[in-house]
Amino acid sequence: MTEDIPALYVVPTPLGNLGDMTQRAIDVLRQVAWVAAEDTRHSAPLLKHYGSGARLLAAHEHNEEAAAQQVIARLSAGESVALVSDAGTPAVSDPGARLVARVRAAGFRVVPLPGPCAAVTALSASGLGEAHFLFYGFLPARARPREDALRALRELPYALVFYEAPHRILESVEALAGILGADRTLVIARELTKLFETIHSCPLGEAHAWLTADANRQRGEFVLLVSGAPEGGEAGTGGESERVLRLLLDEGLPVKQAAKLVHSITGAAKNAMYELALSLRKS
Ligand code: SAM
């Protein structure tokens, strides 16, 4: 840290294991006058743990513009500020990007520190061999926009990386299987760096059954990684399943029966086909 030049330091914090804080991150938290935190109550014990006496100011998604002005005022007064989120890297599916943009526009230095990020941590243990990955973050919560989002990703030959909340995990894997294809590999990375860390790989079409076989498997925090679309533009059984489904619906079959038949023909998950059939009927 350069003492005499005030800067905004972007500081990643642990996903669960306090030992994952880098030495540089600890040094910065100890040296800055202020820490801008997504949740000050959440970050206060963390600062105490690492021996930081910095004062806290709130910088969450609902006050980011006002927080940016506060941070710029501190920097103008010659004080450095660290930006932290609840866990992992700020501005990665977390608030922080707008604040960083304002600070840079005001002419101050922004110094990023490398550190914990759930997406990269999961990717490193996924075993997915694609040369490229696409970090998507959270899919839309509602079924229709989620399916539209997945359709836009279906042909990409990149590993896809999603964040997901436990209460949506089942419907998400169903949608992934239905639209991306039951044969593509899914890696479920759950509770990374924590006591119940689990990394499980299976074909997308088997994920729902694996998750429901034990309720504990649906608990905690999740990164979902899906292997890229097979070469040659064919998006696997997802593409094929949807084509068959469309044909059956065009022939006038009821949604339930069409989903059941697609399941028998391509092996695609029945629930996912049912959801997809409903949304195709509506459109
Ligand atoms: N900024 C964070 C980062 O760098 O990873 C992500 C914040 S986002 C609001 C929270 C999501 O990250 C969770 O819903 C989950 O999908 C993922 N996540 C965070 N911690 C995790 C962990 N220990 N194991 C698995 N996923 C995690």
- In tens digits, what is the pLDDT along the chain, a chain of 283 residues? 656 799 999 999 999 999 999 999 999 999 999 999 999 999 999 999 999 999 999 999 999 999 999 999 999 999 999 999 999 999 999 999 999 999 999 999 999 999 999 999 999 999 999 999 999 999 999 999 999 999 999 999 999 999 999 999 999 999 999 999 999 999 999 999 999 999 999 999 999 999 999 999 999 999 999 999 987 654 444 567 778 888 999 999 999 998 888 878 876 767 778 877 887 887 6
Is residue 13 located within the same domain as residue 152?
no
Q: What are phi and psi of 159, to 5 degrees?
A: -60, 140
Substitution site in 83, 93, 219 for ligand 1 pocket (most atoms within 8 Å of beta carbon): 93
Model pTM?
Answer: 0.86
The three-point CA angle 238-260-159 to 5° equals: 20
Ligand 1 mean position to 228 CA, how many Å? 22
129, part of any domain: yes
Pocket of ligand 1 (CB under 6 A): 15-16, 85, 87-89, 92-94, 117-119, 163-165, 189-194, 221-223
Atom of ligand 1 at shortest range from CA of 194: 23
Query: Does residue 1 belong to any structural domain of this protein?
Result: no
Count of structural domains, the chain: 2
Whether residues 106 and 175 share a domain: the answer is no
Task: Note whether residue 237 is domain-resident.
Answer: yes
Gap between the terminal Cα atoms of the chain: 56
CB atoms within 10 A of CB 168: 15
| CATH of residue 18 | 3.40.1010.10
Best residue for ligand 1 mutational test, from 117, 163, 164, 219 (most atoms within 8 Å of Cβ): 163
Residues 125 and 181 reside in one and the same domain: yes
Domain check: are 167 and 213 in the same one?
yes
Do 51 and 135 lie in one domain? The reply is: no
Range of the domain at 101: 7-116
* Cβ proximity of 249 and 274 under 8 Å: no
- Based on the domain organization, do 123 and 109 belong to the same domain? no
Q: Are residues 69 and 206 in the same domain?
A: no
Residue 204 domain flag:
yes
Please check whether residues 173 and 73 belong to one and the same domain: no
Same domain (yes/no): 223, 195? yes
Could you identify the atom of ligand 1 that is nearest to the CA of residue 165?
14
Residue 215 lies in a domain: yes
CATH assignment of the domain containing 152: 3.30.950.10
Q: What pLDDT does residue 235 have?
A: 46
* Same structural domain, 100 and 191: no
- 54 and 128 share one domain: no
Question: Would you state the structure tokens that stand for residue 3, as one six-digit string?
Answer: 């003492």
Of the three residues 83, 101, 116, the one that is the final residue of a domain is: 116
Name the residue of 13, 15, 135, 190 whose CB sits within 8 Å of the most ligand 1 atoms, as the mutation to test its pocket: 15
- Structure-token pair, residue 12: 């990643």
117 CA: nearest ligand 1 atom: 4
Position 6, amino acid: P
Q: Is residue 42 part of a domain?
A: yes
Residue 234 confidence (pLDDT) = 44
Distance 256 CA to ligand 1 centre (A): 36
Tokens of 263: 């399941």
- Identify whether residues 48 and 98 lie together within a single domain: yes
CA 70 → CA 30, 99, 100, 250, distances in Å? 20, 10, 12, 58
Domain boundary among 116, 137, 162: 116
Q: Which of 87, 116, 145 is the last residue of a domain?
A: 116
Domain membership of residue 159 (yes or no) is: yes
Write down the pLDDT at residue 1.
67
The reported pLDDT for the residue numbered 238 is: 53
Residue 24 placed within a domain: yes
How many Å lie between the centroid of ligand 1 and the Cα of residue 250? 41
